[in-house]
Amino acid sequence: MNAAARAPKTGKAAHQQSLLALYRTIVLVREVEQALSRLFANGEVPGFIHLSLGQEAISAGVASALQPQDSLTTTHRGHGHVLARGIDVEGFFKEIMGRAGGLCKGRGGSMHVADLSLGILGANGIVGAGIPIALGSAIAHAARKTGGVAVAFFGDGAMAEGVLHETLNMAALWKAPLLLVCENNGWSEFSPTSRQFAAKLEALAAAFGMAYEQVDGNDVTAVAEAARGATEALRAGRGPFVLECITHRVRGHYEGDPQKYRDANELQGLAAKDPLARTRDQLAQAGVSAADTERIDQEVLARVEAAITAARADAPPAFEDAASDVYTPATQEATP
């Protein structure tokens, strides 16, 4: 987590430090996603993957507002969220490449990455399914008085799922410490969301009397500030909060998606909105030298390359280990 990003802006140095921490996270997500794109094209990633390229600022900004006791659920497009939360990069690559040392022992893959020790209750292969799971986690935070909040990341495609509407209602009724983060990239898989969802999320939040804020999801400073405000309100017991981050999906729904349904002009215009380039601009404006950002680029790249090397060297998981672990072994059973 980016502790520096949470520090109050008492001066130029603090501002530079928090912005650099956010930048480091954005670069990490960018490098990992680009590497996965190459690995997938090389046939080194089994199955299918959904990349969050172009949406990195949301992951970095929201994660910067979280504390160790907090929890989150994410989606099929969830690599950025778990990386920003601080997941082990080597274990992450091993999982997605189907290796024994993967965070989930190669049983879940890209759509099921989890690290319960970091409060990551899983990516999810079912659109919207993480939202009510995060609600349950928020209830647990309240019951256990952890002071924590639960975050449900979801895309605009999930706005049409019934469990979102059920969760908004229940979270509002119970004033649950639940932060609902919508990454609105305009696309519900292969269809524009304008053709899939008749309402606006803002109106939906208002219908349930819920706090709502919309931010430019490609502006990491704006996301971080909004997330900090939202989590502070949640920790103060002021009930659930909807944060809608407007962003753009740079890649297809899945890697290999030819995107014939998309207008070439839309894709060409995305470079000007690139969250990584915009963060670099913010760093330059804050007086950070190019040498400092390039050093971060190199450090992150080396970390990602080392993780990929380790993942390639790792063994595939053994079938027997998986088949014998469907239920909790008796030796691990907790007593009542």
Partner 1 sequence: MSAIEMRYAQAVAQALRDSLEADERVMVLGEDIAAAGGSFKATRGLLEAFGPQRVLDTPISEASIVSAAVGAALSGMRPVAEIMFMDFITLAMDALVNQAAKARFMFGGQGNVPMVLRTPHGGGLSAGPQHSQCLEAWLAHVPGLKVVCPATPQDAYSLLRAAIADPDPVIVVEHKGLYGQKGMVEPVVGRIGEARIVRPGGDLTLVSYGATVAICLQAAQALAADGAQAEVIDLRSIQPWDRATVLASLARTHRAVVVHEAVTAFGVGAEIAATLSDEGFDELDAPVLRVGAPFMPVPFASSLEKGYAVSVEAVLAAARKTLN
**Site for partner 1 contains 115 (CB under 8 A):** yes
Q: With binding defined as CB under 8 A, does residue 158 bind partner 1?
A: no
Among 6, 48, 67, 129, binds partner 1 (CB under 8 A): 129
Residue 27 structure tokens: 């670069």
Contact stretch for partner 1 (CB under 8 A) within 104-112, 249-257, 272-280, 302-310 = 104-112
Q: How far is the CB of 181 from partner 1 (least distance, A)?
A: 16
Comparison of 42 and 332: residue with beta carbon closer to partner 1: 332
Q: Is 107 in the site for partner 1 (CB under 8 A)?
A: yes
Amino acid at 6: R
Among 169, 191, 194, 309, the residue binding partner 1 under the rule CB under 8 A is 169
Minimal distance in Å, beta carbon 176 to partner 1? 9
Q: Among 42, 268, 285, 335, which residue sits at the site for partner 1 (rule: CB under 8 A)?
A: 335
Question: Is residue 142 within the footprint of partner 1 (CB under 8 A)?
Answer: yes
Q: Which is nearer to partner 1, 285 or 332 (CB)?
A: 332
Residues 39-78 contacting partner 1, CB under 8 A: 71, 73
**Minimum CB–partner distance for residue 182 and partner 1 (Å):** 17
15-51 exposure pattern, b = at least 16 Cβ within 10 A, e = fewer: bbbbbbbbbbbbbbbbbbbebbbebbeeebbeeebbb
Phi and psi, residue 107, nearest 5° = -95, -20
Work out how close the CB of 215 gets to partner 1 at its nearest, in angstroms, rounded to a whole number.
26
How far is 92 from 109, CA to CA, in rounded Å? 9
Of the CA atoms within 13 Å of residue 68, those in its CB half-sphere come to: 2
Of 113, 19, 117, 118, residue with least CA distance to 60? 19
Is residue 15 near partner 1 by the rule CB under 8 A?
no
- Which phi and psi (to 5°) does residue 269 adopt? -75, -10
Please say whether the beta carbons of 22 and 31 come within 8 A.
no
**Dist CA 22 CA 19 (whole Å):** 5
CA–CA distance, 113 with 96 (Å, rounded to integer)? 8
Cβ 92 vs Cβ 83: under 8 Å: yes
Closest approach of Cβ 248 to partner 1, in Å? 29
> Of the two residues 258 and 336, which places its CB atom closer to partner 1 in the complex?
336
Footprint of partner 1 (CB under 8 A)? 71, 73, 95, 102-108, 112, 114-117, 119, 121-122, 124-126, 129, 131-144, 150, 162-163, 166-167, 169-170, 173-174, 322, 325-328, 332-336
